[in-house]
Amino acid sequence: MEHQAKAHLLEHRDDEAAKLGMWLFIFTEILLFGGLFLVYAVYRAMYHTQFHEASLELNVVFGAVNTIVLLVSSMAVAMALTALQENKVKLSRQLIWLTVLCALIFMVNKYFEWGAKFEHDIYPGSELLRKLEHGHILYYGLYFAMTGLHALHVTVGMIILIVVERRIKAGKVHAEKFVFLENAALYWHLVDLIWIFLFPLLYLIT
């Protein structure tokens, strides 16, 4: 009995450490993107007209669709966590796969959006971009840097969610031990939150 109590205590400490580690990681991510947003704000103030002109090349429909897709995915992963806590394992796994599907839709949309830019010779270092004004170059540089970094986070999030789903199926993550899914959901909410800032900043400049 005493051995079981010690094991439970150690497991609880591990869970708390995992949660703390995730919050520290999220804090560093906020610092990273916060720095990029600050750089964006400074340059936008300096080159407001050129930022507005450059933003007209972006497809607002693609951006809006991706925003809706990520909001649905955040809802799905939150519901997956609740379902697992209620021991609805099958439903939890289905909701995780729905989240992954939304992430894939987001990445496919981003692929076509970026592809259109490359077709029009709009990418860092291109001949066309070098002929534009400095403000235009800065805008596109920030656009590719921030959306590219965000896409990397989406990809990492998909991998983590798939790993979580596999562990749920194997019985290693369950109603009594759900911190892995909780942390994965927290990470995914961060990915969603970052895009909610990126969409108006990049696509809706007036």
User: pTM for this structure?
Assistant: 0.91
What range defines the domain where residue 23 resides?
2-203
pLDDT digits 0-9 by tens, 175-190: 989 999 999 999 999 9
DSSP character string of 140-165: HHHHHHHHHHHHHHHHHHHHHHHHHH
Distance CA 64, CA 72 (A): 13
The average pLDDT across 23-49 equals 94
What's the pLDDT at 1? 52
Looking at the predicted structure, is the pLDDT value of residue 65 above 50?
yes
Q: Which of 12-26, 43-57, 96-110, 131-145 has the lowest mean pLDDT?
A: 12-26
Mean pLDDT of 71-99: 97
pLDDT at 7 over 50: no
Task: Read off the CATH number of the domain in which 191 is found.
Answer: 1.20.120.80
Domain tally, the chain: 1
Task: Dump pLDDT digits (tens) for 86-99.
Answer: 999 999 999 999 99
